[in-house]
Structure 1
Amino acid sequence: MSLLRVLFVLLLLPFWSVAAMAADGDTPIIDYTSRFHPVLAERGMVVSQEGHASEAGLEILKAGGNAVDAAVATGFALAVTHPQAGNIGGGGFMMVYLKKENRVIAIDYREMAPASAHRDMFLNAAGDVDTQLTWFSNKASGVPGTVMGMTEALAKYGTMPLKKVMAPAIRLAEEGFPVSYALADSMARYQKRLTADPVTARYFFKADGSPYRAGEILRQKDLAKTLKTIADKGAAGFYEGAVADKMVATMEAGGGIITHDDLKNYKAIERTPVRGTYKGYEVVSMPPPSSGGVHVIQILNILEGYDLKSMGHGSAAYIHRLTEAFKYAYADRSKYLGDPDFFDVPVDALTDKAYAAAIRAKIDPDHATPSSEILPAERLPYESPQTTHYSTADRWGNMVSNTYTLNFSYGNGRSVDGAGFLLNNEMDDFSSKPGVPNAFGLLGGEANAIEPGKRPLSSMTPTLVLKNGEPFMATGSPGGSTIITVTLETMLNVLEFDMNMMEATAMPRIHHQWYPDRLLMEPGHSIDTARILGTMGHQVKGVLDETESWDRVLGSTQSILRRPDGVLEGAADPRRPGSLAAGF
């Protein structure tokens, strides 16, 4: 057994901690300094993947802002201090619960395909997907949505002016901040890819080309100017004028296809959340083009018919049922999920409890069903690499769950010259060729084919849980294709096993996504349990022996739980160093 596993088993269980790799291959880092208890607060809470950003949101809460004000402040701050995924050049989803109105709003600010995009744009002469184009070119960038999403959320549901809410982010960019160990390590590991673009190299590395060390100050003057322009002019300061000119110039110089018209035509959309129930709780999550909300509810519907608690958390019986449910959901994802503005997504059918019961009846309690024998449902019940998540809550009972991304760590690795921000590579989240896996191994079909103005399918799953009609929990995670399973397991730890927020966050996780047919198990699971699962027919990767080693971790939830007495429990996932739950 490796030293890493010995430390996990002997020192850290059940509150083990390891930093996650980014979607495209970060190595794990043990963080022994993480808190293994929930942070408690009465008046407000921000939980994010980066400490300075959490403190930016807390600053706004302390100044009298609500959860939306804090969420917008945190989002812009992450664009400065967490460039791996925090962004103004990407997009995402925001779930907002408004206590006064007892209403949940789902804000879709996902990127959009440019007007000149077409379904075969990433195929080479042989008709195969060119991953260099889909991953690392300017053509891989969709029209960014973050700035529109943040500014519209603030204007509609916040209480503070944009300049005040953005002040912490502008300060962090202009005056600089001490580089964390996590950021220093990340930039050093991605140095080759990031320095391939001279502009990115200038923004994130020293003049001599060397990476920043932990504790050294990183200042981003061009990004500060861009943020000031947005603070002064709102979304128009990004989608029009000088910043837009710089973005289009970068596109034209590097073979990208985003135009001024694409930027002017971008819209954030408010959508109807998907809703489900699980043993007395109401689950409210992001609808398509997120696949996360639909499949979280679908999987919960399947699992609701089992007495999971009696099986025991982490038991082979428990993990087997989770895994089989995951397979069926991801199979359906490959066929039925896409942008609802372009494809009639059968949300009601997929989240129907009778359909879940039919799937449950197919699950053999003692044997795994090979993925090759599971197909997307032929008929449904009739019906007419790198991301970051954060959660906020305020004293008035409002809650926000927000997930946004550039896709890979640092997106396509290219930056907008003179504007200070990285570009996304979200076009890879489309099905560049139906039936061919994307960078996360996910299969897709016609529903997610590339079309102009379309939003790519996403696994991002910002989720709110209500209890007796009151906000109870906000959670979500980064992690590409693992987001859905990570978010769901964290919820089950609370809803089914009565764990506090930190326990629920720290417990080891599993993942299966139908294809490839493998069950990933984080360190911390019992070796005996893994062996039993192997005898049941699961293709287990991780924890068995050195030849099956898989020491990576799954996701990084940043969650808030509101207890019956009104006290907030915040839990920053220790899997990624630097995360912080900040409250008062």
Structure 2
Amino acid sequence: MICNSKLQLSNLRIRFSRIKRELLIGVAATNLVAAIAVSASPVANAAEPVFGPPSSAESNLGLVVCETPIAARLGRDVLAAGGNAVDASVTTALALAVTWPEAGNIGGGGFMMIAPSNGEVVCVDYRETAPAAATVDSFANWADRRHARMAGVPGTIAGLALAHRKYGSVPWSKLIGPVADLADEGFVVDEYLADSLNKTMRLTSVRREPKFQEFRRVFAASGNQEWIAGDIMKRPDLARTLRTLAREGAEAFYVGSIADQIASSMSKSGGLITREDLASYRAKLRKPVRGDVFNFEYFGPPPPSSGGTTILLQLRMLEKCGIAETTGTSWTTQRVHLAAEAMKRSFRERAARLGDADFVEIDPEIWTEEFASNLADGIGQDQATSSEDLADGIKLTPPNRESLETTHFSIIDAEGNGVSNTYTLEGRFGCRIVVPGTGILLNNEMGDFNWNPGVTDRRGKIGTTANLIAPGKRMLSSQSPSIIKKDGKLVLLVGSPGGRTIINTVSEIIVQHLVFNNDLEDSVAAPRFHHQWFPDEIRFEQTGPSVQLFDAAAEELEGMGHSVALWKSRQGSAHCIAVDAETEAAKGVADSRRGGGVAAVD
């Protein structure tokens, strides 16, 4: 168990005030430079996006690594005041809802992996659920993915509350107060967020639909001009909501005044969520996916996340194929080939088998070493297998678009308790519906169900009954917050955003760090590539190192039978913590592909 302790927390607000003053006078310049460097190329053959090296810090007293520096610092302050990793995760998650609104949230859901220093790893499943009014054919002819109807019942607040109730030590209200102050008093907008807001505001302004009116009001820059890096954003509506949660607890969101506001908004905007749906929502403690592979012990989220299962399959196939016996510390053509073959097979099994285990029976053989070994037997050392040949009777249809917007954070405290958390609104800014007066952005997660029973698309969308819509059911997810132990000791916390690319980003970092024996900075900065069964191609992110790998390997990979392509932007934004198994020294590394911040307890 994570131990409770008597805490001196009065300095939390003092330290917050210091951080706020620093940011307002420009200490955020470092983050601005990093964010400017990662702006995405709009087309696949344009200039390569450039990003600087990951930021990092070391500490034996605690680390927080996430998408924004101020969220990392607020989480760090909780640790510095005597809170544990779960306490800090509440503050960090809510601070990201303020400072990273395209994905940080209280109107979405996710998965939190918790590794107590002296207990079993657990998973808090706070994935959204389908409203009671949703049926298997509710979206059969639906096209608008930015509509209130797309919102699933949010789970974030219930998940944070469950984790805090089981493992937290700091009073709930103390964890939220500094975040509410931040929302009220404002923070510096960086280049990445400014660009993201401006693009989204232009889209909603062009359409001028009444449903986006509150979004435009909440996120409009001063004078309705475009956001510029260095501007100050304030979130007063969200601050009031946070203070309600601090005062009344998580119940306010599900059975109290906030629930009333959400239900009223849904009724007026054509959404499916009712007050009864909110009152019946429950976050759940689940047993993680666990497996011995290479020389370590892997832990990942179980269904309804596909992440833990798919990553474990990939790692076991790569072990069987002998990737650890290949030489060097970098991706080579041979290694990319083996990884891509493992990816396409694991994603095929994901498509065929996985869904919400509370609603569908999942054959436990998928988690056995023998199952992965049998899949690996079909991998040739120098010949690609066609994805069509792996379909095995699954009917295919053209693909749907997939969003890449999610966010991840990793936290470790002085006692060695670790948290790896990924949560999301699904699309950038979710369905772009803001509950009036609350600042709450709602998700558009209903799109993660299969809308066409019996049909799987060429991106790997589930077509079997495992991921069809049902009232109260959780939609399948690719979120993959992962924990690695070696000889019983925590050695790695890892996760990333990126839709289905999350799975492969996390798998590649694990292999880079623990199999190829690179340090964590190099593992996070290394080239990334992706295969998800369909479309049948290896996609390399369009960044300098990945383009170099593409140029070096493309011809030989094509000779093996692969299709290869440069993707239009970066892959993921991984925020990780590694722990030296011998010295127990911890290092946090923040990916710079989007922004990233790491804060250490001194």
TM more than 0.5 = yes
| Partner Cα distance (2:92, 2:43) in 1 | 25
Single out whichever of 297-306 and 209-218 deviates more from structure 2.
Answer: 209-218
| Partner Cα distance (1:488, 1:237) in 2 | 38
Flag structure 2 segments of 5+ consecutive residues without an equivalent: 1-33, 395-402
Deviation at 1:437, TM superposition (A): 6.1
Structure 2 residue corresponding to 1:565, chosen from 576, 583, 587: 583
Structure 1 residue corresponding to 2:531, chosen from 494, 512, 515: 512
- With over 3 angstroms needed to count, the CA separation of the structure-2 counterparts of 1:36 and 1:48, relative to structure 1, is closer
Single out whichever of 191-200 and 399-408 deviates more from structure 2.
Answer: 191-200
| Partner Cα distance (2:559, 2:592) in 1 | 32
- With over 3 angstroms needed to count, the CA separation of the structure-2 counterparts of 1:366 and 1:29, relative to structure 1, is closer
User: What is the root-mean-square deviation of aligned Cα atoms in Å?
Assistant: 2.4
For 1:553, the equivalent position in structure 2 comes to 570
Secondary structure of the structure 1 residue equivalent to 2:365: helix
Deviation at 1:233, TM superposition (A): 1.2
For 1:240, the equivalent position in structure 2 comes to 255
Q: Does 1:90 align with 2:108?
A: yes
Q: Does 1:168 align with 2:178?
A: yes
Amino acid at match of 1:161: P
Secondary structure of the structure 2 residue equivalent to 1:103: coil
Secondary structure of the structure 2 residue equivalent to 1:566: coil
Single out whichever of 522-531 and 284-293 deviates more from structure 2.
Answer: 522-531
Q: Does 1:58 align with 2:76?
A: yes
For 2:316, the equivalent position in structure 1 comes to 301
Secondary structure of the structure 1 residue equivalent to 2:245: helix
Secondary structure of the structure 1 residue equivalent to 2:420: strand
Structure 2 residue corresponding to 1:223, chosen from 238, 254, 257: 238
| Partner Cα distance (2:420, 2:457) in 1 | 26
| Partner Cα distance (1:28, 1:458) in 2 | 32
Amino acid at match of 1:259: T
- With over 3 angstroms needed to count, the CA separation of the structure-2 counterparts of 1:40 and 1:227, relative to structure 1, is same
For 1:113, the equivalent position in structure 2 comes to 130
Secondary structure of the structure 1 residue equivalent to 2:478: coil
Deviation at 1:161, TM superposition (A): 0.5
Deviation at 1:434, TM superposition (A): 3.1
Amino acid at match of 2:562: H
| Partner Cα distance (2:223, 2:446) in 1 | 33
- With over 3 angstroms needed to count, the CA separation of the structure-2 counterparts of 1:561 and 1:419, relative to structure 1, is same
For 1:154, the equivalent position in structure 2 comes to 164
Structure 1 residue corresponding to 2:301, chosen from 274, 286, 293: 286
Q: Does 1:445 align with 2:457?
A: no
Post-superposition CA distance 1:524-551 (Å, at most 9, x none): 2431212110111111002xxxxxxx34
- With over 3 angstroms needed to count, the CA separation of the structure-2 counterparts of 1:567 and 1:22, relative to structure 1, is farther
Contact 1:429/1:438 (<8 A) preserved: no
Deviation at 1:397, TM superposition (A): 0.9
| Partner Cα distance (1:397, 1:495) in 2 | 19
Structure 2 residue corresponding to 1:131, chosen from 143, 147, 171: 143
Post-superposition CA distance 1:78-107 (Å, at most 9, x none): 01000010000000000001113x211110
Q: Does 1:337 align with 2:340?
A: no
Contact 1:115/1:453 (<8 A) preserved: yes
Flag structure 1 segments of 5+ consecutive residues without an equivalent: 1-14, 125-129, 379-384, 543-549
For 1:127, the equivalent position in structure 2 comes to none
Secondary structure of the structure 1 residue equivalent to 2:115: strand
For 2:10, the equivalent position in structure 1 comes to none
Structure 2 residue corresponding to 1:361, chosen from 374, 377, 392: 377
Q: TM-score normalised to the size of structure 1? A: 0.89
Deviation at 1:375, TM superposition (A): 2.5
- With over 3 angstroms needed to count, the CA separation of the structure-2 counterparts of 1:361 and 1:398, relative to structure 1, is same
- With over 3 angstroms needed to count, the CA separation of the structure-2 counterparts of 1:81 and 1:180, relative to structure 1, is same
| Partner Cα distance (2:175, 2:457) in 1 | 37
| Partner Cα distance (2:553, 2:479) in 1 | 29
Structure 2 residue corresponding to 1:202, chosen from 193, 212, 217: 217
Structure 2 residue corresponding to 1:264, chosen from 279, 293, 312: 279
Post-superposition CA distance 1:373-429 (Å, at most 9, x none): 012699xxxxxx211000000010100000000001100111000111111000000
The percentage of counterpart residues that share the same residue type is 39
Q: TM-score normalised to the size of structure 2? A: 0.87
Contact 2:49/2:570 (<8 A) preserved: no
Structure 2 residue corresponding to 1:372, chosen from 388, 394, 417: 388
Secondary structure of the structure 2 residue equivalent to 1:282: strand
| Partner Cα distance (2:456, 2:442) in 1 | 22
For 2:341, the equivalent position in structure 1 comes to 324
What are the residue-to-residue correspondences of 1:362-401 with 2, within 5 Å?
362-375=378-391, 385=403, 386-401=405-420
Aligned residues: 546
Contact 1:20/1:28 (<8 A) preserved: no
Contact 2:155/2:281 (<8 A) preserved: yes
For 1:521, the equivalent position in structure 2 comes to 540
Contact 1:335/1:446 (<8 A) preserved: no
Deviation at 1:444, TM superposition (A): 3.6
